[in-house]
Amino acid sequence: MSLESRPVTTQAGVGRALAARLARLGVETVQDLLFLLPIRYEDRTRIVPIGALVPGARAAVAGTIELAEVVFRRRRVLLLRLADGTGFLTLRFFHFNASQQQQLARGTRLRCFGEIRRGPLGLEIVHPEYRLADLPDAQAVEGALTPVYPATEGVQQGRLRMLTAQALGALANDPLPDWLPPELLREPGLPGLRAALEYLHRPPPDAAIELLQAGRHPAQRRLAFEELLAQQLALRRLREEIRRDPGWPIQVPGALAARLLEQLGFPLTGAQRRVAGEISADLASGHPMLRLVQGDVGSGKTVVAALAAVAAIEAGCQVALMAPTELLAEQHARNFSRWLRPLGIETLLLSARITGRARQGAREAIAAGSHPFVIGTHALFQERVGFARLALVIVDEQHRFGVQQRLALRDKGASGGRYPHQLIMTATPIPRTLAMTAYADLDVSVIDELPPGRTPVRTVVLPDSRRDDVVARIRRACLAGRQAYWVCPLIEESELLEAQAAEDTAAALAAALPELKVGLVHGRMPAAAKEQAMSRFRAGEIGLLVATTVIEVGVDVPNASLMVIENAERMGLAQLHQLRGRVGRGAEASSCLLLYRAPLSPLARARLSVLRATSDGFEVARRDLELRGPGELLGTRQTGLLQLKVADLLRDADLLPRVREAADVMLAAHPANIAPLTRRWIGAGGRYGKV
């Protein structure tokens, strides 16, 4: 049996219980063990003189205990002073027992390993790994840097090192197939598969540890190249397969679209017309469209989606629009009702507020096809909601949904052997390099032009010591007839704490501004209460709306011209840009005030500087990718796509052009290698691979 399929239970010492724990690390076969790569390395082969130690490094030291004492500082602490003739080092133990205290007596020679820190008595190590100097290091790997593997409960590092040593022995006798043809490796100068794996699990003592820690060693680049290629091929194959499926051919005179454009009262921009034309060609092709429409906040993506929707409805088909939150779904329902009702088209909102018999009746109406346009959250495709002739699915805010969800929509909407078109919109622009890699299964359109009349938003960065000035500015703006938002910070990913912070802030601002109506919206409010607050804000009854980031997307109140974002240093660039997009939607000059709590970290300072310098969403996205990496930009947890084992899209961006060229070579000349390559990196359970 090959290492690719040999169960990990064939390894010595791996029983059912250990196998279950290893499965939490994604290890089920011997091949999986080989691809469980170290997250860092420790050099236990070299003893560093104490006088040469620097804070922040992890190092092995040896010396004699000169002083051992137990002190009481809130709790008992065992302090040792270790000296080697070049200097001394404090070893600090908060947890120790009597036998340890006896063993670590004055005059004992020790070898220790740990992180060097600055302490009150000079350099120190807190809870070092230690052993008597004449005993072997049970943690070290002989003749190599010591690998540190991803951890899971119940699996110690020593056990993982032993298991990977066994797997490397098996690899020497039964090499894994190298699915990359030699011509793909020649140009990048990358090592073969076996050499790369052996080096990364057991680097020699003279290996460039800084290069390994940075993920830039040729052995790491070899595996990153292969992983990115597998991702690219899986998505390209998926794209080819979907393009072969039958769709709903939508070719209509365009009477409804013409009436819609006529009643809008403003012309489309050139970019909107171009993207609408690309969508129209896709709809007419007879194969399912898979198109991502990128556009900055306020660029008019929703109007383009409405044109696609009325074409499908004119062809006698159904359309479903899916939004990530109830608030955004309700916003879409209002906009589309305003546009489509004059055309004789009623929209149906399937929200959490519709329950019981009303919900059952709505589901039956959708299944019967009597409602051509349905709007809701992703629950639309999680419940027992069936469609009669679903030809188009519009997904708003793609970064909240991923490949798996796109396939679920496709399968859910299948009817009579036909699959629905998918139009995916995002106001979180994605840099071109990243989009071509992450969304290789999609065609990408860009609305890169803002409608005339959009006023630029002035962005100001202020310390929260200026809070009173900000409150005074809100008072002046609201008394002059304008409206404002006050956004509360994200607190440790806790919706409950966020809600409490928003409630406290709203109460404090209401007390400071008794002449204004202050409203509140947060994620833990009932949907009806949220909608009531938003309706009053839209109607101008509320001057200042205190909110959490629940208002990040979709909220459109043209009279709101001032936004305050508290603790802006806690938020990412994309989210700050989205929030800023809630103002600047009317004729008044608008401002966004970013309040921060000093001191600022270098990363937070860089983020806020970008926001102050540009309002271009694509430039913001480019800098966001540089500062934070692709996982946060795309929503790694949601997409399930960019949970890469070795590669990093930012660090390895220079590989991407070669990855795309290599994908062309594999598809043309080595199609038989594609399935095993994608299985290796994505797994048989990777539904979107389908290769």
| Chain segment 568-590, per-residue pLDDT in tens | 988 888 788 888 988 887 778 89
On the question of pLDDT at 439 being above 50, the answer is: yes
| Confidence class for position 523, pLDDT limits 50, 70, 90 | confident
168 C-beta neighbours (distance < 10 Å), count: 16
Edge-to-edge order in the sheet of strand 457-463: 457-463, 590-596, 560-565, 483-487, 544-547, 518-521
| Confidence class for position 402, pLDDT limits 50, 70, 90 | low
Q: What is the pLDDT of residues 153-168, one digit of tens each?
A: 788 888 999 999 999 9
Average pLDDT score over the chain: 86
Our measurement of the distance from residue 163's CA atom to the centroid of its chain's CA atoms, rounded to an integer in Å, reads 32
Question: Long-range CB contacts (< 8 A, 24+ apart) of 171-177?
Answer: 171/3, 171/34, 171/197, 171/198, 174/2, 174/3, 176/2, 176/3, 176/4, 176/31, 176/34, 177/2, 177/4, 177/676
Q: What is the pLDDT of residues 625-667, one digit of tens each?
A: 777 655 444 443 333 344 678 888 778 888 888 898 999 999 9
Cα 476 from Cα 473, distance rounded (Å): 5
Q: What pLDDT score was predicted for residue 341? A: 94
Q: What is the pLDDT of residues 526-560, one digit of tens each?
A: 878 888 898 899 899 999 999 987 775 556 788 99
Q: What is the pLDDT of residues 41-89, one digit of tens each?
A: 988 888 999 999 999 888 999 999 999 999 987 789 999 999 999 999 9
On the question of pLDDT at 125 being above 80, the answer is: yes
- Which residue type occupies 414? A
Q: Give me the residue label for tokens 């049996």.
A: 1
Is residue 510 within 8 A of residue 500, CB to CB? The reply is no
pLDDT above 90: percentage of residues in the chain: 47
Strands (E), 74-201: 75-83, 88-93, 109-115, 117-119, 122-126, 129-132, 146-148
Angle between helix 193-201 and helix 157-173 axes, rounded to 10 deg: 150
Q: What is the pLDDT of residues 454-507, one digit of tens each?
A: 777 899 999 999 999 999 999 999 999 999 999 987 554 455 666 678 888 999
Domain architecture of the chain: domains with CATH: 8-42+143-224 (no CATH), 50-132 (2.40.50.140), 245-447 (3.40.50.300), 457-614 (3.40.50.300)
On the question of pLDDT at 687 being above 50, the answer is: no
| Confidence class for position 315, pLDDT limits 50, 70, 90 | very high
Is residue 160 within 8 A of residue 25, CB to CB? The reply is no
DSSP label of 486:
E
Cα 634 from Cα 21, distance rounded (Å): 29
Residue 220: exposed, middle, or buried by beta-carbon count in 10 A (0-12, 13-18, 19+)?
buried
DSSP strand pairing (290-295 vs 373-376): unpaired
Cα 410 from Cα 401, distance rounded (Å): 13
Q: What pLDDT score was predicted for residue 652? A: 85
Would residue 108 be called left, alpha or beta, if left means φ above 0 and alpha means ψ between -120 and 50 degrees? beta
Is residue 522 within 8 A of residue 582, CB to CB? The reply is no
Q: What pLDDT score was predicted for residue 492? A: 47
**What are phi and psi for residue 344, nearest 5 degrees?**
85, 20
| Neighbouring residues of 630: CB distance < 8 A, sequence distance ≥ 6 | 434, 438, 636, 642, 648, 649, 650
The stretch 519-524 carries a mean pLDDT of 86
